[in-house]
């Protein structure tokens, strides 16, 4: 569905860009129902808000993910994530564990030559 939309439509919060006929064309072009396009647009807006709040989150470089930075990032993430999502992860402890696992996976990929920016 998103491939049927322009960058301007995806990046804008202007409802005038997405009138009823445009939504119908997107639905037809993507082989979906109008209801699905509307649901996707709402989800896209919700996630965009979350990502915009995460701009202050610092992503450490390889080998720099100390326990302190993990905890600080987890605290920041816990403020940004919707409460129901944080609950699904297992609360603050689950979020810290998830971030630790992500750091370990990145280190392991580095050992095998993957996960590096080129």
Whole-angstrom distance, CA of residue 117 vs CA of residue 39: 34
Domain count of the fold of the chain: 2
Query: 35-78, pLDDT tens digit by residue?
Result: 998 898 888 888 877 777 766 665 555 555 555 455 556 677 77
Residue 116 falls inside a structural domain: no
The CATH number covering residue 13 comes to 1.10.260.30
Asked if residue 62 and residue 42 are part of one domain, the reply reads no
Mean pLDDT value across residues 72-88: 75
Asked if residue 72 and residue 44 are part of one domain, the reply reads no
Dihedral of alpha carbons 43, 48, 49, 51, sign: positive
Asked if residue 97 and residue 71 are part of one domain, the reply reads yes
Strand, helix or coil for residue 65? coil
The mean pLDDT value of the chain amounts to 73
Residue 117 falls inside a structural domain: no
**How confident is residue 107, by pLDDT bands cut at 50, 70 and 90?**
low
Decide if pLDDT at 32 tops 80: yes
Decide if pLDDT at 88 tops 80: yes
* CB-based contacts of 65, cutoff 8 Å, min separation 6: 99, 100, 103, 106
pLDDT of residue 35: 94
Mean pLDDT value across residues 79-94: 81
Mean pLDDT value across residues 87-95: 82
Q: Please, what's the largest Cα pairwise distance for the chain?
A: 52
Asked if residue 27 and residue 68 are part of one domain, the reply reads no
Domain stop point among 33, 51, 69: 51
If we measure between CA atoms, which residue out of 73, 72, 82, 98 comes closest to residue 50?
82
Mean pLDDT value across residues 103-118: 53
Residue with the bigger pLDDT between 89 and 102: it is 89
Domain ranges, residue 103: 58-111
Residue ranges of the alpha helices (H) in the chain?
7-11, 20-30, 34-53, 67-80, 83-89, 91-111
């Amino acid at each position: 569905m998103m491939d049927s939309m322009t960058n301007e439509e995806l990046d804008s919060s202007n409802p005038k860009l997405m009138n009823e006929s445009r939504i119908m064309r997107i639905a037809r072009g993507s082989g979906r129902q109008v209801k699905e396009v509307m649901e996707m647009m709402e989800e896209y807006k919700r996630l965009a808000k979350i990502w915009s709040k995460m701009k202050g989150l610092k992503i450490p470089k390889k080998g720099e993910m100390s326990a302190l930075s993990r905890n600080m990032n987890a605290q920041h993430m816990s403020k940004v994530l919707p409460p129901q999502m944080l609950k699904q992860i297992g609360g603050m402890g689950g979020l810290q564990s998830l971030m630790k696992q992500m750091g370990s996976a990145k280190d392991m990929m580095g050992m095998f030559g993957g996960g590096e920016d080129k």
